[in-house]
Amino acid sequence: MGQLKFDEVKASADKTISGAEARTKQAAHDAQAKFDEYKSKASGSLSNARESTENLYSEARASVDKKYGEVKDSAEDKKDQAKAGWFSWLGWGKSSAEDAKKAGAGKVADAAGDVQSKASKHA
């Protein structure tokens, strides 16, 4: 009877140990599967973040290049306008000076004519 009781306890202990080993192996397998799943998701997230960052950089670079081109073109236009305005101003000054010279010469000629006519009256 003692041997029977010992065998039952031993069988029960072996069964418990076998069950514990099976559950431990299953838990380890489940943990490894979860680890692999999280690792895969993290890798995918990292890849997406990298692509997103590269896209944002490319878009920002394109925007800056476009704005630079617009500002450069605008500056060139303003420079050309300033040159045209300056040369036009110089030309206006030159034509105004010529007009003033002609008007002055005309007044001098009129004054000379008046002096001549007064001189001929007195002569």
What are 74-110's pLDDT values in tens digits? 888 888 887 776 666 655 555 566 676 677 777 777 7
Read off the pTM.
0.42
**Rounded to whole angstroms, how far apart are CA atoms 79 and 81?**
5
Which tokens belong to 29? 């397998």
**Rounded to whole angstroms, how far apart are CA atoms 30 and 36?**
10
**Rounded to whole angstroms, how far apart are CA atoms 5 and 14?**
14
Residue 89's pLDDT is 60
Give percent above pLDDT 90 in the chain: 19
